[in-house]
Amino acid sequence: MNAFLQQEAVIDATLPWLEDAQKLGEQPAADWVKALRHTGAEAFAHTGFPHPKQEGWQYTQLRQLTDGDFHYALEAPAFDVNALPQPLLENSARIVLVNGKYRPELSDAPEGVIVMSLMDASVQVEGIEEHLVTVGDLGKAPFKALNAAYTHDGVVVTVKAGAEVTQPFEVLFYNVGDTDKAPALYPRCLYWLGKNSSLTVIERHTGTGAYFTNIYAGIALEPSARLKCYKLEEESATACHFSYTTLQQQKDSSFEGFSYATGGKLSRQEYRNLLIDSGISSKLTGAYLLKDQQCHDFTVLTDHFEPDGKSVQHFKGVVDDQARSVFQGKIHVRRAAQKTDGNQLNHALLLSEKAEASFKPELEIYADDVKCAHGAASGQIDDEALFYLQSRGIPQAEARSLLIESFLNTVLAEVSFSPVREVYEERIRAWLRH
Amino acid sequence: MPIAPETLLDKKYEAGFVTEIESDRAPKGLSEDIVRLISAKKDEPEWLLAQRLKAYKHWLDMPEPRWAKVSFPPIDYQDAYYYAAPKTATKPKSLDEVDPKLLETYKKLGIPLREQEMLAGVAVDAVFDSVSVATTFREKLADAGVIFCSISEAVRKYPELVQKYLGSVVPYTDNKHACLNAAVFTDGTFVYIPEGVRCPMELSTYFRINEAKTGQFERTLIVAEKGSYVSYLEGCTAPMRDENQLHAAVVELIAMEDAEIKYSTVQNWYPGDENGKGGIYNFVTKRGICKGARSKISWTQVETGSAITWKYPSCILQGDDSVGEFYSVALTNNYQQADTGTKMIHIGKNTKSRIISKGISAGHSNNTYRGLVRISGRAENARNFTQCDSLLIGHECGAHTVPYIENKNMSAMLEHEASTSKIGEDQLFYCRQRGIGEEGAVALIVNGFCREVLQQMPMEFAVEAQKLVAISLEGAVG
Amino acid sequence: MTMLKIENLHAEVGGREVLKGINLTVKAGEVHAVMGPNGSGKSTLSYVLAGRPGYEVTKGKVTFLGQDLLALAPEGRAAAGMFLAFQYPVEIPGVSTTMFLKTALNAVRKARGEKEFSPVDFLKLQKEKMAQLGMDAEMLKRGVNVGFSGGEKKRNEALQMAMLAPKLAILDETDSGLDIDALKVVAEGVNALRSKDRAFLVITHYQRLLKHIKPDIVHVLADGKIRKTGGPELALELEDKGYAEYTGDAALRAGDKSI
């Protein structure tokens, strides 16, 4: 409980949410999968959805979700294959998940990448449970627990040691909603990169109609593995998106993540980035563009265990209409993690009188020889700059867009793979025209 | 770099002595009877007793606040005394009548109460355990219309003022520690600055816990009327004891239109020994309200003492164009724990706040800055600037920063910066090459690190605060 | 009178041997210049003499005014009368130059068993020395070296030297980052301190500083050893010919012969 902020609203945790999990009982599954479902269900039954006074949940009100009626379906929904969006990049290979279920017939993986449905992988890939039975306490992560209770859908992506995959790899999560009987989706995914391998992933989340997707993703990077992971969260306007990613990095590995978030009415992306050995580089950056009554939450923990790690958490966003943005970042530097260089930055631009931004940029530091800094700022578009542009003949709306673009450019610059950066830039321009 | 956990040096806690003085104590433990007894000892009016009892009943069911990053065993509230007063201090009196032992005690602490010996320009209210034993310069202040007296005296002499403002900024329901204070507060200071008056001297209260197993629950109330100004300073010490003693104070500040209150604290409660035994639990609720337009409240604190510090001096910026400031140095060594910061609640238009926090952790200590900046939808053009810097000395300690930033107004601008660092080896070598020993060099560099805050202290106390920072660091290097 | 005697001094930095047997004797009243190419061990020599942590003496002996210098802590060496003017003076934010100087001066005086300065005497002395160096009093209020230009930093070093009045002053690349005017001022400051009781060790890459601070004896340091010792004419020779003679294999062989 956090009375430090003294908020009052209360939500009752009700539990019809677990009922559909029983449908999975009749399916054959590995023992560890059954155990995981059981543990998840128990943990969620105990906690329910997080209370708004609970630390980490003060700023994201779940009422939009908890008031809804969402159901899990074992069967794949009917949908028109032609409705699938085109791949983002011409030269990429792509796999497709529809409502969290892997569709091999629509999928094609790049050379060097092995893709399997979660249930296939659960019996065929050795050592997989280590990365999927997750780390940490389910009692403190209700969404992760709820996902665990439904362990069935999702994919496992593996790259063999030494493989350098050059073709960009798109992973499309296409979600088909329904207003009458809105689906609840619980995919569980794993990206597992062997020693000294490399991969560039473009992860897209999009769909139609109302649904609730609650994703758990594991990312395991073995020594010297390098992953670039570019996310586009563009869920339908009536969807709720929750994702929980555990990133485990081993010695000298590097991670470059970028998350672009504009979709959904209520979303939260949570990351636990564990730098469990030395010499690791871990960069997670992103941009959010919110309007109407959207609420979006980025919650990022970067945990340095060992020396010589470098981490970046850099997020920027614009918030319009009555939208609300939340950024909760934390850099945790353990005693052994000397020479850590941790950096955290968050800037939000409010575009309307009713827009809101909340931040909690935290540092928790137990090593003395470190360089850690964070900064957060919130404000509006600089009037003087706006006037300056207008005085040069640029119409106001365009001048505003220009200033917003330039504001976001500094964080886009963190995207080292330029074809994706260009996609993001186009997306931002399109959003600004809304 | 040869910085290691503390070795043989004893931390010099110069205020750690006990005054042998006969004391009038209430029976041990807390109950409705004790609350009645305290009220009766002070000849209080019925309304105040009723308030105390209401708070006591509420307290019984109230959970302890849990947000702070501190840990300690559950407090046994029945194993403490809630009222202790030197027998010779039962009635207010002139300085000539004050027990010489008490005068001697304060003199030893560097707070001479005889006016001719005092720092010119500083008036003192001396609170010893549960009672105020002396207040200096009263006549001079009275000439200016300033009321400066113990809160007990204020209850008798100015009941309408006390009743109007007591609990108006920190209600008894605020948190468990503040609620306890509302039930059992014994003494403290009352300051009233009338309209248009610039208080002619610095006011200060010196708090001393002397009795064993006794909690101190003081209450401070400062009201600055329209266009007035006051600068107030409090200092605190206690004897060295193996047990933990509770200090749960409440401070309320009220600034009307164009008024300014500057509130400074030098907190040097006994911090416990080098193994973390003993020390004061300093659980304090301090809050000010800038009620009127263009009013200003400025908190400055130098926190070097206490086993545990839990305090968040805050400002409610209600009046348009009002200003809130928080300047803090928190230094922890050995096994001390500090969780301190502020809340700046922006309600009025064009309100401004500034937060400068410097945390220094040494030994096995943990030091947390926790702060809230909230901009309400009405707070057009609100501005906040926050800077939190942490310094770690040694590798057994922790430094943490937990800011909460909430902006509901697009025209507001907020900036928050934080950094964590250590003392540079090159800085240390540079100082040593110039002949300054290692401890002296660390003290010098740390004082430099804190300068922005220390220079906010009233002149008379800035030097003391600097020395305190140096002394508190002793044993942190070796 | 012998002030500093260095005998067969070997030292390592980060496990690498940088000083490989230095022999050097400095007498009171003398000004020695130690010249050498980059990476020859010049700065290491100054740090080793001042006792910087991380600079490990593996062999040899240093005697300073009859005392075993290497047994002293850095502050002990300062108290004994050794001063190092840093090549890169360090910034100490929040500590004013005055405060720093006062703390240093009183610490040194205390260690020498002298009375601490009264604030008035201190300010008088400071004012006098500032005037000699043409320094602006405003500088004293700023944090030590914080936001100082290269010239200001070096002047500040000269000021500290003047205040602390050492027996032996080591000037480590004092000319680096200085324009000619600043160089002159700093050199004048140094020259003003020259006396029969005081010695200087001027470490420099270039000869230009030595035009303003005239050395009595010039040493060439290369690859961790003194390769040649001579009078002021040696500095001029180096200006003409550079260090080519002292670097590379041929030079090393030649150097070995000369010792």
**pLDDT tens per residue, range B237-256:** 777 778 888 999 999 999 99
For the segment B46-75, the average pLDDT, to the nearest whole number, is 92
Residue the block writes with tokens 């980490």? A56
Closest CA to A248 of A212, A269, A278, A218: A218
pLDDT at C239: 80
Residue B193 in any domain: the answer is yes
Contact with chain A for residue B395, Cβ under 8 A: yes
Contact residues, chain C, for B432 at CB < 8 Å: 51, 73-75, 78
Spans in chain A with pLDDT lower than 70: 1-15, 134-136
Say what the pLDDT of residue C175 is. Answer: 83
In the prediction, which pLDDT does A308 show? 96
The mean predicted confidence, pLDDT, of chain C is 88
Q: Under an 8 A CB cutoff, do A350 and B394 touch?
A: no
In chain B, the residue whose alpha carbon lies closest to the alpha carbon of C157 is B434
Number of domains chain B is built from: 1
CA proximity to A121, closest of A192, A72, A41:
A192
What's the alpha-carbon Rg for chain C, to the nearest Å? 18
Q: Touching check for B422 and chain A: CB below 8 Å? A: yes
Instruction: Tell me, yes or no, whether B184 lies in a domain.
Output: yes
**Residue A2 belongs to a domain:** no
Q: Do A357 and B407 touch (CB under 8 A)?
A: yes
| List of chain B residues whose C-beta atoms are within 8 Å of the C-beta of residue A356 | 406-408
Q: For residue B216, what pLDDT is reported? A: 87
Q: What is the pLDDT of residue C195?
A: 92
| Polymer length of chain B | 478
Whether B475 maps to a domain, the answer reads no
- Least confidently predicted of A316-330, A351-365, B13-27, B42-56: B13-27
Percent of chain B with pLDDT over 90: 58
| Residue B311 lies inside a defined structural domain of this protein | yes
**Which partners does chain C have (≥3 C-beta pairs < 8 Å)?**
B
Within a domain: B217: yes
pTM for this predicted structure? 0.88
| A364 touches B: beta carbon within 8 Å | yes
Q: Residue B401: is its pLDDT beyond 70?
A: yes
Q: Is the pLDDT of residue B4 over 70?
A: no
CB-CB: which of C54, C94, C103 is closest to B436? C103
Contact B444 C103 (CB under 8 A): yes
Asked if residue B383 belongs to a domain, the reply is yes
pLDDT beyond 50 at B455: yes
Does the distance separating the beta carbons of C78 and B450 come in below 8 Å? no
Min Cα distance B444 → chain C (Å) is 7
User: What does the pLDDT read at residue A12?
Assistant: 41
Q: Domain boundary at A226, A253, A277, which? A: A277
Alpha-carbon torsion angle B303, B308, B310, B313, nearest 10: -10
Please tell me the least confidently modeled range out of A143-152, B225-234, C230-239.
Answer: C230-239
Contact present, B288 and B322 (Cβ < 8 Å): no
Q: What was the pLDDT predicted at C258?
A: 37
Domain assignment present for residue B286? The answer is yes
Q: How far apart are CA A201 and CA A171, in angstroms?
A: 7
- Picking from A277, A299, A317, the residue at the C-terminal end of a domain is A277
Q: Which domain holds residue B185?
A: 5-91+138-424
Mean pLDDT calculated for residue range B81-96: 70
- CB contact at 8 A, B62 and B176: yes
Residues 6+ apart with CB under 8 A from B389: B357, B358, B359, B418, B419, B420, B421, B449
Rg of chain B in Å (alpha carbons)? 21
What pLDDT sits at residue A157? 97
> Residue B90 above 70 pLDDT?
no
Q: In this structure, what token pair is assigned to residue B464?
A: 């003391």
Do B410 and A361 lie within an 8 Å CB cutoff?
no
What integer pLDDT is reported at residue B206 of this predicted model? 84
Instruction: Residue window 67-86, chain B: list those with CB within 8 Å of chain A.
Output: 67
A317: in domain: no
Helix (H, G, I), strand (E, B) or coil at C203: strand
Instruction: List the subunits that have 3+ CB pairs under 8 angstroms with B.
Output: A, C
Domains of chain A: total: 2
Task: Look at residue B357 and tell me if it is in a domain.
Answer: yes
- Please report the pLDDT score of residue C201 as a whole number: 95
Residue B5 pLDDT level (bands cut at 50, 70, 90):
very low
Out of A128-142, B58-72, B441-455, which region has the weakest mean confidence (pLDDT)? A128-142
Identify the pLDDT of residue B464.
77
Min mean pLDDT across A16-25, B86-95, B194-203, B354-363 is at: B86-95
Which of A277, A310, A341 is the last residue in one of the domains? A277
Q: What is the pLDDT of residue C257?
A: 37
Across the interface, whether the CB atoms of B448 and C143 are under 8 A apart is answered yes
C90–B447 CB contact, under 8 Å: no
So what's the pLDDT on residue B395?
A: 86
CB contact under 8 A, B397 and A368: yes
pLDDT given at position A135 = 54
Q: Does B41 touch chain A (CB under 8 A)?
A: no
Let me know: does B316 contact B344? Beta carbons within 8 Å: no
**pLDDT confidence bin for C259, thresholds 50/70/90:** very low
For residue C72, is pLDDT > 50? yes
Kindly list the partner chains of chain A, i.e. chains with 3 or more CB atom pairs below 8 Å.
Answer: B
Q: Could you give the CA distance from residue B238 to residue B236 in angstroms, rounded to a whole number?
A: 7
> B429, C52: Cβ pair inside 8 Å?
yes
Query: How many cross-chain Cβ pairs, A to B, lie less than 8 Å apart?
Result: 129
Chain A interface includes B476 (CB < 8 A) = no
Q: pLDDT at position A15, please?
A: 66
Nearest-neighbour CA in chain B from A269: distance (Å): 19
The answer to whether residues B340 and B401 touch, using CB atoms and an 8 Å cutoff, is: no
Q: In which band, very low, low, confident or very high, does the pLDDT at B228 lie, cut at 50, 70 and 90?
A: very high
pLDDT of residue A11: 35
Average pLDDT, chain B: 88
- Nearest residue to A346 (alpha-carbon basis) of A381, A374, A365, A320: A374
Residues of A in contact with B395 (CB under 8 A): 335, 338, 366-369
The domain in which residue A425 lies consists of: 388-434
Q: What percent of chain B has pLDDT over 70?
A: 93
- pLDDT computed for residue B204 by the predictor: 86
pLDDT tens, C144-188? 999 888 888 988 999 999 999 999 999 998 888 788 888 888 888
Q: Do chains A and B touch (3 or more CB pairs under 8 A)?
A: yes
Chain-chain contact of C94 with B449 (C-beta, under 8 angstroms): yes
Using the Cβ of B65 and the Cβ atoms of chain A, whether some distance falls under 8 Å is answered with: yes
Residues A407 and A269 in one domain: no
Taking the C-alpha atoms of residue A88 and residue A258, their distance in angstroms, rounded to an integer, is 16
